[in-house]
Amino acid sequence: MVSTNHLLQEYASSMVAVKEHLRSAQEFHEIGLREYEEGRKSGDLLRMREGCEKVFHAYVEASSALIQKQGFPELKSCTNSERRNS
């Protein structure tokens, strides 16, 4: 049987991970918007693209936070070939 203390520790750890994902999402979003705007103003398509990629990554981080907050564990990173073989 799992102790209450163990469950509380897992919950606290999960909330730390959620906050970290949200912090990361906010940073990626701010940097991405800034890079996109700089690229747009200067006509630098590469800079605009890099900004868009960072904004996209912000949404990935925010999604990870939401999934974890709902009680699902964070998945470990794996390569495409590892996913196909599992």
List C-alpha distances in Å: 11 to 8, 21, 71, 72, 73.
5, 15, 9, 11, 11
Task: Report the pLDDT value the prediction gives residue 80, as an integer from 0 to 100.
Answer: 59
Token pair belonging to 40: 């747009």
Residue 37: the pLDDT is 98
Place 3 in a pLDDT band, splitting at 50, 70 and 90.
low
Q: Strands (DSSP E) along the chain, which ranges? A: none
Q: Which is more confident, 38 or 68? A: 38
Mean pLDDT of the chain: 84
Contacts of 26 (CB under 8 A, 6+ apart): 58
pLDDT tens across 23-45, in order? 999 999 999 999 999 999 999 99
Q: Per-residue pLDDT averaged across 55-67, rounded? A: 95
Two tokens, residue 42: 């200067």
CA distances for 65 relative to 17, 36, 46, angstroms: 7, 24, 29
Hey, where are the domains in the chain?
8-68
